[in-house]
Amino acid sequence: MTSSQENERRTEALGPNWAQCDASSVRKAARSGKLNGPTSGLAEGFVQANLAILPASDADDFLRFCQLNSRPCPLLAVSEPGAIAIPDLAENLDIRADATRYKVFHDGKVIDEPYNISEVWRDDLVTFALGCSFTFEHELLASGVSLRHIETGTNLPVFNTNVPLRPAGKFSGNLVVSMRPLNAKDAIRAVQISSRFPLAHGAPVHLGHPELIGIDDINSPDYGEPLEIKPDELPVFWACGVTPQVALAEAKLPFAITHYPGHMLVTDISRHSLSIL
């Protein structure tokens, strides 16, 4: 789907002000099935969350894993087992229907990519909502830092690294990072701004020399699309929400659910409220 087709669809579901609308409008449109596309750019004032949903028997390990690796796995909220409401995230939430799309895993393999998970819901499922870099990207743009992947309308390049995570039970692996090319001035400003948002991955984890974190070819991302780095720019790397997704898949749990990439849960948490300064 082209981005103008996507925007038509958004306008149909949310009206012409989909960028400025309330988070609850997005969730309502997702729940009714009117909206099933990516959430980037929707309800800009609100925090979007990555989702990991897994049986209570694995939840303690995953919680510990997130705590040990808070840079890639910043925890916004954890549900009670079986609860479809998570008051810390949003009013009247139905976690089974309010994200626009999901991925269902059996033994680490994707078996379905549904728009609603009511049919596979279980009373022992625990939902983890993790922060996402959309939150600080808004602040970067507002501060005059331009982000090439937004200008080109492409997916951010994302790389596996050789930086080991701290393991917890079944969960382990290496850090996954996103890369944004920035000139020195913008890189320094981006460190300042993203540092204010620890619940959105916080400060960069690396800049400059990609090979030092095990990235051999900066033009061949493991996920997303390549992005030009101009001669006056440095690659700047942030911990990425793909990290827990990979760890979850590699743990090969009998059953697990995540959001579909780019199709996040739009929460009622105001973006500004996540800034620690």
**Positions in the binding site for a second copy (CB under 8 A):** 184-185, 187-188, 191-192, 195, 203-209, 212, 231-232, 234, 277
CA distance 65 to 172: 8
Among the residues of 105-214, which ranges form H helices? 134-142, 148-152, 184-195
CA distance 79 to 187: 36
Q: Which is nearer to a second copy, 71 or 149 (CB)?
A: 71
Q: Which is nearer to a second copy, 19 or 188 (CB)?
A: 188
Least distance between a second copy and beta carbon 168 (Å):
23
Q: Which is nearer to a second copy, 1 or 184 (CB)?
A: 184
Least distance between a second copy and beta carbon 183 (Å):
8
Q: Which is nearer to a second copy, 190 or 248 (CB)?
A: 190
Q: Which is nearer to a second copy, 209 or 252 (CB)?
A: 209
Helix, strand, coil shares of the chain, percent, nearest 5, are 30, 25, 45
CA distance 263 to 98: 10
Half-sphere exposure for 129 (CA within 13 Å, toward CB): 25
Q: Which is nearer to a second copy, 17 or 192 (CB)?
A: 192
Confirm if 42 and 146 have CB atoms less than 8 A apart.
no
CA distance 173 to 247: 6
The torsion angle over the Cα atoms of residues 200, 264, 168 and 212, rounded to 10 degrees, is: -60
Which residues pair with residue 160 across a beta bridge? Answer: 176
Please report the sign of the dihedral spanned by the C-alpha atoms of residue 243, residue 246, residue 252, residue 254.
Answer: positive
